[in-house]
């Protein structure tokens, strides 16, 4: 098809402020069905067959949802998109979220892009002491209570060819504080270069942080690391991308 004179919606912009309806956590449905539920332009994924996994609205100014998983190691919930964004075709990709953690223990939080976001998907990366281990290729923010710097945001970029990454090389200067919000923003260019911002401060820039031709999902997820249920409160979620006009 001709690429000249394109008109219409060239920029994809997904935004939800979480001021409206909710999907209660305590709804027992099959994982395949639960993965079809969502809010605004986003879907709920993760261990959605469990009756204590999902999200509910909470009474806070601006409107928040509480995203929560069940009390199992590696189980949790995410809210975001399908695997549908290519850096080279849709970039630059942008994901920005404002979130708050009631506690900083017994949880793995991921905010960013990954190659999977399906029903019963596990966390994109696990962590222990100073080692971040790939579950699926991903680029984003990670807070894991099993890391030595357990309260600090980390900024992994783990490609399909990678197995692990040392946390000390991707640690941010800013730590999360319980009951206080952080604004996390990641940008991925068509050439795979990525930039991480926390509360408006540029924390890291890395070339070749993402494979340019691999399709990615954008999402916010929280997963358990012990037998304690993990949760987070999300104020808003913004995802932007350019439309692929080549087809």
Q: What is the mean pLDDT of each run of 10 residues along the chain (247 residues)?
A: 64 92 52 61 81 80 88 86 97 98 95 88 91 97 97 98 97 98 98 98 98 97 90 96 93
Model pLDDT for residues 26-41, shown as the tens digit of each residue: 444 444 455 556 788 9
In a domain, 90, yes or no: no
CATH number at residue 26: 2.60.120
DSSP single-letter state for residue 5: T
Residue found by looking up tokens 């999977």 in the block = 116
pLDDT score at 31: 47
DSSP single-letter state for residue 91: P
For residues 108 and 123, give the distance between their C-alpha atoms in angstroms, rounded to a whole number: 7
In a domain, 193, yes or no: no
Instruction: Indicate the burial class of 28 (C-beta count within 10 angstroms; 0-12, 13-18, 19 or more).
Output: exposed
In the chain, the number of structural domains is 1
**How many Cβ atoms are within 10 Å of 179's Cβ, its own excluded?**
9
In a domain, 203, yes or no: no
In a domain, 20, yes or no: yes
**How many Cβ atoms are within 10 Å of 82's Cβ, its own excluded?**
15
- Which pTM does this prediction carry? 0.93
pLDDT score at 55: 82
Q: Which of 228, 225, 182, 229 is nearest to 201 (CA)?
A: 182
pLDDT score at 131: 98
Query: 181 forms bridges with which residues in the sheet?
Result: 100
In a domain, 78, yes or no: yes
Q: Which long-range contacts (CB under 8 A, 24 or more apart) does 169-174 make?
A: 170/132, 170/204, 172/141, 172/196, 172/198, 172/203, 172/204, 173/198, 173/201, 173/203, 174/198, 174/199, 174/201, 174/203
In a domain, 212, yes or no: no
| Chain length of the chain | 247
In a domain, 144, yes or no: yes
Domain boundaries, position 23: 11-84+99-181+217-242
For residues 198 and 155, give the distance between their C-alpha atoms in angstroms, rounded to a whole number: 10
In a domain, 206, yes or no: no
**C-alpha radius of gyration, the chain, whole number:** 17
pLDDT score at 24: 53
Backbone angle region of 196, left / alpha / beta, with phi > 0 → left and psi within -120 to 50 → alpha: beta
pLDDT score at 186: 98
């Amino acid at each position: 098809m001709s690429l000249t004179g394109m008109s219409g919606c060239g920029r994809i912009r997904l935004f939800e402020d979480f001021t409206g309806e909710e999907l209660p956590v305590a709804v027992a449905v099959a994982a395949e069905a639960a993965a079809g539920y969502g809010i605004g332009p986003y879907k709920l994924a993760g261990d959605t067959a469990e009756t204590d996994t999902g999200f509910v609205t909470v009474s806070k100014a601006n409107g928040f949802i509480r995203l929560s998983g069940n009390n199992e190691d590696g189980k949790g919930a995410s809210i975001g998109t399908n695997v549908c964004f290519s850096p080279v075709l849709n970039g630059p990709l942008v994901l920005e979220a404002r979130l708050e953690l009631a506690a900083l223990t017994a949880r793995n939080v991921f905010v960013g892009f990954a190659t999977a976001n399906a029903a019963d998907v596990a966390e994109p990366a696990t962590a222990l002491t100073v080692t971040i281990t790939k579950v699926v290729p991903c680029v984003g923010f990670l807070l894991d209570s099993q890391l030595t710097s357990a309260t600090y945001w980390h900024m992994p970029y783990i490609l399909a060819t990678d197995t692990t990454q040392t946390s000390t090389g991707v640690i941010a200067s800013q730590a999360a504080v319980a009951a206080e919000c952080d604004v996390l923003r990641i940008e991925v260019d068509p050439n795979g270069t990525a930039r991480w911002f926390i509360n408006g401060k540029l924390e890291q820039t890395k070339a070749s942080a993402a494979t340019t031709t691999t399709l990615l999902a954008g999402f916010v997820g929280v997963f358990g690391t012990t037998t304690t249920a993990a949760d987070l409160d999300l104020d808003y979620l913004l995802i932007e991308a350019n439309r692929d006009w080549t087809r």
